[in-house]
Amino acid sequence: MTNLFQKISLKEYNTFGIDVEALYSFFCYDEKDLISFLRQNKIKKSDICVIGGGSNILPVKNINDILVLMRNKGIKIIEENKNDVFVKVEAGEIWDDFVDWCVRKEFWGTENLSSIPGTVGAAPVQNIGAYGAEVKNVIYKVNTVDTRNGKTESFRNEQCDFGYRNSFFKSEEGKNFIVTSVIFKLSKNPEPDLSYGSLKNKFPDNKAKIEEIRKAVTEIRKSKLPDPKILPNAGSFFKNPVISEAKFTKLRKKFPGLVYYPAEDGKIKLAAGQLIDLCGWKGKQENGAGVHDKQALVIVNYGNADGNTILEFSKKIQQSVYDKFGVLIEREVRVLP
Ligand code: EPU
C-alpha cells in the first residue's frame, strides 16, 4: 500500500516546525484504507499516534510509533428539516474550510470558531473553543475506528464527555479510537452569540450577520495570535486554570485586577495569558523559544528551537506562575511521543 511511508521528517506536519523523524507514517485518505490497515496489522494503542493539522502538538524526539495522518476529505449534508441541518464532515477536512462552507450556506454554530487552525477530526478531541463558543455545542455524533480491531463505532454527543478543552477521546479508553468523521447539527435560523467581550464591543446592538461575525473573529485573532506560517507556534500553549472559589477569593485580595470567568461546579477560571503576562514573560526570548508579544499564552519558535528547548522554556513559565500565584497552569499542547 502506498499510504505507508518510512522515516519522514515531521517538520511540515507540525506548526512549531520541529524537525523530528517518524519511523512509519500512514496517510489516511479514506476510512476504508485505515480499517484494512488496522485489521491487517495487529496494532496496539501504544503503537499509534494520530495527528490532524499538527497545530496542537510539540514533538520532542523521533517517533517510533505508527503516525497516522488524517487526510480524508468531504463535506455532505445528510439530513435537514425546517430548522436544522445535519452535515457529515470527514476528519481530514481543514476546520476553517468547513467554517467557511457553513458561513456561505448561512448554517449557524461554527462562526465564532473561525480561523482556528487544525482539522475537523481534531476538533472534538480537544473540544476546540473560542469567543464564547465550543465545538461541543454543534457536534451531533463522532464517528471513529477502534484501533484494537478496526471496527467502526459512533459516539453521540453526550457519550463524548466534553469539558473545557477535554473529551472522552483524551482518556485512556478514548485513545483507542481514531476520529474518522464528525456529524454536526447546525441551525438554519440566525443564532448570533456575541456575548464574548471583544465581540460585544464590535457589535454593541447585539446584531450581526453570520459573515460579519466570521470577519470580526478572524480580525481579532489576527491582531493577537501569530500566524504559524510566519512565526511557528501551536496557539495557546497552556489551558486557562480552573480554581476553587475560596482560593480565588484569597488570590484576588492580593491581585485585584485578575480576569476571571465562572466555570463548572461553582469554580473560577483564570486567564493563563494574564498570569504569564504579570510574571513579566511577554515578549521574552530564550534559546530561540519565546513568549508572543501580543498574547502571553502563546509560545513561539523563532526558528531554531527544538522540541525540548520549547518544553524546558514552558516549564520555566509554569514554575514562575506557580511561584507568584500558587496556580498550576497545565499544558494544552500535546507533547509527542
Ligand atoms: N491577557 C493578558 N495578557 C495576555 C493575554 C491575555 O492580560 O498576554 C488577558 C486579556 O486581556 C483578557 C484575558 O487575559 O482579559 C483573556 O484573553 P483572551 O481573550 O485573549 O483569551 P484567552 O483566555 O487568553 C482563550 C483560548 C483561545 C481563544 C480565546 C478567545 C484557551 C487556552 N485559549 O484564550 O484559544 O482564541 O480564549 O476566546 O482557552 C487556543 O486554544 O489555541 C486558543 C487560541
> What SS3 class is residue 59?
strand
Question: What pLDDT was estimated at residue 46?
Answer: 66
Q: How many CA atoms lie within 13 A of 245 on its CB side?
A: 6
Question: Could you tell me the pTM of the whole model?
Answer: 0.95
Kindly give the distance from the C-alpha atom of residue 305 to the centroid of ligand 1, in angstroms, as a whole number.
24
pLDDT in tens, the chain (337 residues): 568 999 999 999 999 999 999 999 999 999 999 999 998 877 766 688 999 999 999 999 999 989 999 999 999 999 999 999 999 999 999 999 999 999 999 999 999 999 999 999 999 999 999 999 999 999 999 999 999 889 999 999 999 999 999 999 999 999 999 999 999 999 999 999 999 989 999 999 999 999 999 999 999 999 999 999 999 999 999 999 999 999 999 999 999 999 999 998 899 999 999 999 999 999 999 999 999 999 999 999 998 899 999 999 999 999 999 999 999 999 999 999 8
Question: What pLDDT was estimated at residue 44?
Answer: 67
Kindly give the distance from the C-alpha atom of residue 221 to the centroid of ligand 1, in angstroms, as a whole number.
10
The answer to whether the CB of 176 is under 6 A from ligand 1 is: no
Q: Indicate which residues carry an active-site annotation.
A: 165, 236, 332
At 325, give phi and psi (nearest 5°).
-115, -10
User: Rounded to 10 degrees, what is the CA torsion of 244, 250, 254, 256?
Assistant: 60
Q: Three cell numbers at 162?
A: 466534553
Buried b or exposed e, range 177-186, using 16+ CB within 10 angstroms:
bbbbbbbbbb
DSSP per position, 208-245: --HHHHHHHHHHHHHHHS--TTTS-EEEESBPPPEE-H
At 13, give phi and psi (nearest 5°).
-110, 10
The answer to whether the CB of 282 is under 6 A from ligand 1 is: yes
The answer to whether the CB of 112 is under 6 A from ligand 1 is: no
Cis peptide before 226 (omega within 30 of 0): no
Which residue's CA lies nearest to atom 2 of ligand 1?
274
Question: What pLDDT was estimated at residue 302?
Answer: 95
Question: What pLDDT was estimated at residue 303?
Answer: 83
Question: Which CA distances in Å does 263 have to 132, 133, 321?
Answer: 13, 14, 20
